[in-house]
Chain A
Amino acid sequence: MGVGIRVENLNAWYGKTQALHEINLDVQANHATALIGPSGCGKSTFIRCLNRMHETTPEARVEGKVKIGEHDAYDGTSATKLRRRIGMVFQKPNPFPTMSIYENVAAGLKLNGYRDKRHLDGVVEKSLMSSALWEEVKDSIHKKSGASLSGGQQQRLCIARALAVEPEVLLMDEPCSALDPISTGKIEELIFELKAQYTIVIVTHNMQQAARVAEYTGFFLLGRLIEYDKTEKIFTNPSDKRTEDYITGRFG
C-alpha cells in the first residue's frame, strides 16, 4: 500500500545556487500528484529530494524535513534503505543494456542480495504484468536484452523494475517526454491502475497529462511551490495569478 509524504520547510542547493525555497506540501497516499512548472523551476530537484537522489549530485545539499509515511527520510538512516521504499522512473528510459528483460526487472532484488529463484520468477512476472508489458514480452524475457525493446516498452520495463522491489511510493520524472502518444497513453492508463497500490508523484510538462492522471497538482516557479490544490481547482479556478498565467500559456 502507498503511504503519504509530508514535506516541511524543504530547501535545496546545488553548490551555492538555491534550487528550492521553503517547500511545504502533503502528498496523499494512493493518489497521483502532478508537479508542473516551467523548465528549471525545481520540480525534478524536488522529487529527487524525496528519495535522496539529490545528494548523489556533487556539492548538492538539502535542509528541511521529509516524512515518507511514518519515517523521517533525513533522520540518519541510510539513503539506500529509503530508496528501496521509493521507486523512481526517469525521463529517458534507462534499462540496463547488458541485462535481459528478466534480469532488468530482478535487478533491484538481486543486487540487494535476493537469490531465491522461484520467488524472483514470481516477482518478475507480477511486476511485468503490473506495468502492462508481460503480454508483449513473456516469450522472450530471457532471450532479449532490455535495450532491444522500443522506447515505450523500455519505459514500462523501467516501471516494472521499480515496482519489483515493492515500493510504497513511485516517483516519475517526466516519464513520457521521450515517448510517442500511443506509448504515453499506455503509461497514463498504467498510472491510473498503479494508484490503487502506490502513492504516485509525477513531474510533467504536459498539462493535459497532469489533468488526466492526477488528483492533486502543484505548480512550481523559480524554486518555490506557488500553488498546490486539487487538480480541478488548479486548472479551472487557480487562486494565484502566476498559476493562471502559466496554465493559460502566457509564459513558460
Chain B
Amino acid sequence: MGNLRGPVPDTAPVAARLEICLWRRAADRMTTAFAILSVVLVLAPLGAIFGYLVYRGIGSVNWAFLTQTPKPPGESGGGMANAIAGSVLILAIGSLMGVPLGIGAGIYLAEFGGNRFGDMVRFVSDVLNGVPSIVIGIVAYALVVLRQKHFSALAGGVALAIMMVPTITRTTEEMLLLVPNSLREAAYALGVPRWRTTLSISLRFTAFGNQYWNWRLDQPTAALPLQIFTYAISPYDDWHRQAWAGALVLIILIVSAVAAVRFVVRRGTLGGVA
C-alpha cells in the first residue's frame, strides 16, 4: 500500500512492479465504484418518491382536479385548484417581501460588509436559517394572524419571507464574492460609480386552509402542502387519491420551477449576448 504514491522505481524487480500496477488499478476501480454507488444511493430516494407519486397520483390528476375546488366529504370529484392557486399566491407574497430584502442584505455583506457589523449580520442570518419553520410560523401568527384575528395568505407570505431572507442573503453574498475583483476594477477605472458597479456589473446577476378560491390577501388561503396533509389524514378514499394527485402536482411544480430558474440563469450567463 505504501507504494501507491510516487513513480514505480525502474530498478524494482519485474514481479514487484507488476504487483504495484495491479494494486493501483484495483484502488482506482474501487474508488470509481464507490463514487458511482454513492450517486445511486443519493438519487434513489428521489427517483423512488417521484415514481411512487406518479404511480399513485397520475390516475387522479385530470382537468377537474386542476380547475375545481374541493367537494364536501362523501361527494366524489372536485379538485385542488384553490390550493394550487393559494400556493402560488403565498409564494408570490413571500418572494415580493423576501427577495428584495435578501438581495439587499446580500449586496451589503458582499460589497460593504467587511467589518464587525457585517460579521454580526452574517451570524444572525445563519441563526435565522437554522430556526425551525414552526417557530417562524408562530412569529407570523403573533405578528399577523393575532392582529387580523384570522389566518390569511398575508400571514403565510410573511412566514415564508422570513424563511427566505437568510438563504437569499447568503446566496447573494456568495454569488457577489465570486465576481472577480478585476471586473469591479475595470468598471471603477471607467469612472463608473460604486453603486452602479454593484448593480450592473456584480449582480448579473402561514396560511390555513380554505375550501374556496381566495385572491384576497387578508383572508384564509388554501395551499397545496396543507391540503395534501388534510386529505391524507382524512378517512375518505377519494380524498386519499386526491392527496396523491396533489403531491404529484406539487413536485411537478417544484421541478418545473427549478428547471425554469436554471434555464433563465444559463441564458443570462452565456446569453448576455442574445
Cβ–Cβ < 8 Å partners of A51 in chain B: 189
Is the C-beta of B2 less than 8 angstroms from some C-beta in chain A? Answer: no
Q: Is B45 an interface residue (CB 8 A)?
A: no
0/1 interface trace, chain A 80-121, chain B, CB 8 Å (1 if under): 111111111010101111111001000110011000000000
When the two chains form their complex, are residues A83 and B183 in contact, meaning their CB atoms are under 8 A apart?
no
How far apart are the CA atoms of A87 and B185 in the complex, in Å?
12
Q: Is the CB of B200 within 8 A of A111?
A: yes
- Residue B135 is within 8 A (CB to CB) of chain A in the complex: no
Interface size class of A (residues with CB under 8 A): 35 or more
| Cβ of B132 under 8 Å from chain A | no
Q: Cβ of A81: which chain B residues have Cβ within 8 Å of it?
A: 191
Residue of chain A at shortest CB distance from B197: A111
Question: With the chains together, A144 CA to B186 CA distance in Å?
Answer: 19
Whether A98 contacts B188 by the Cβ 8 Å rule is no
Interface size on B, residues (CB 8 A): 24
- Chain B residues near A143 (CB, 8 Å)? 273
A25 within 8 A of B: no
Given A80-B193, A145-B273: A94 and B188 within 8 A (CB)?
Answer: no
**B269 interface residue per 8 A CB criterion:** yes
Chain A residues lying within 8 Å of B150, measured Cβ to Cβ, are none
A23 within 8 A of B: no
Is B191 a contact partner of A108 (Cβ separation < 8 A)? yes
Bound-state Cα–Cα, A58 to B197, Å: 17
For B191, the closest partner residue in chain A by CB is A84
CB-based contact A103/B272 at 8 Å? yes
Chain B's closest residue to A102 (CB) is B273
Pair B192/A145 contact, Cβ less than 8 Å: no
Which residues of B have CB within 8 Å of A90? 182, 185-186, 189
Q: Does A212 contact B (CB under 8 A)?
A: no
Shortest distance in angstroms between B188's beta carbon and chain A's nearest beta carbon? Answer: 6
User: Nearest Cβ in chain B — how far from A155, in angstroms?
Assistant: 12
- The DSSP consensus for interface residues of chain A is mixed
User: Is residue B180 within 8 Å, beta carbon to beta carbon, of the partner chain?
Assistant: yes
Question: Given A103-B272, A111-B200, A145-B272 in contact, is the A94-B190 Cβ separation under 8 Å?
Answer: no
A96-B189 contact in complex given A58-B114, A144-B273, C-beta closer than 8 Å? no
**Contact call A112/B191, Cβ cutoff below 8 A:** yes
Please measure, in the bound complex, the distance between the C-alpha atom of A56 and the C-alpha atom of B186, giving whole angstroms.
Answer: 12
Chain B residues contacting A162 (CB-CB under 8 Å) are: 189-190
Q: What string of 1s and 0s marks CB contacts (under 8 Å) between B186-230 and chain A?
A: 111111110011001100110000000000000000000000000
- Within the complex, what minimum Cβ distance (angstroms) separates A90 from chain B? 6
Cα-based distance from A80 to B189 in the complex (angstroms) = 8
Contact of A83 with B189 in the complex, beta carbons under 8 Å:
yes
Q: Within the complex, what minimum Cβ distance (angstroms) separates A109 from chain B? A: 9
Closest residue of B by beta carbon distance from A82: B191
CB of B59 closer than 8 Å to a CB of A: no
Contact, CB under 8 Å: B191 / A53: no
B190 touching A111 by the CB < 8 A rule?
yes
A contact residues around B180 at 8 Å (CB): 94
Complexed CA–CA distance, A145 and B182 (Å) = 17
* B interface footprint on A49-72 (CB within 8 Å = 1, 0 otherwise): 001010010100000000000000
Return A95 CB to nearest CB of chain B, in Å: 8
B272 touches A99 (CB 8 A): yes
Task: Give the distance in Å from the alpha carbon of A80 to the alpha carbon of B196 in the complex.
Answer: 11
- The distance from the CB of A114 to the nearest CB of chain B, in whole angstroms, is 12
Chain B 168-189, CB-CB to A under 8 Å as 1, else 0, gives 0000000000001011011111
Q: Would A98 and B192 count as touching, CB distance under 8 A? A: no
- What is the CB-to-nearest-CB distance from B178 to chain A, in angstroms, rounded to a whole number? 12
- Give the residue of A56, A58, A83, A144 whose beta carbon is less than 8 angstroms from that of B190: A83
Measured between alpha carbons, how far is A99 from B204 in the docked complex, in Å? 10
A162 to B193, CA, bound (A): 16
| In the bound complex, CA of A94 to CA of B158 (Å) | 42
Q: How far is the CB of B29 from chain A (nearest CB, A)?
A: 39
Using a CB-CB cutoff of 8 Å, which residues 248-274 of chain B contact chain A? 268-270, 272-273
The answer to whether A108 and B272 touch (CB under 8 A), given A94-B180, A94-B186, A96-B201, is no
Q: A81-B191, A94-B180 are in contact. List 8 more A-B contacts (CB 8 A).
A: A98-B272, A100-B273, A111-B201, A112-B196, A143-B273, A145-B270, A158-B186, A161-B186
User: Across chains A and B, which 5 residue pairs bring their CB atoms closest together, nearest first?
Assistant: A84-B191, A98-B272, A108-B190, A88-B189, A83-B191
Can you list 24 A-B pairs, Cβ within 8 angstroms, ordered by A?
A53-B189, A80-B188, A80-B192, A82-B191, A83-B188, A85-B191, A87-B190, A88-B189, A94-B180, A94-B185, A97-B183, A97-B269, A107-B190, A108-B190, A108-B191, A108-B192, A111-B196, A111-B200, A111-B201, A112-B192, A144-B273, A158-B186, A162-B189, A165-B191
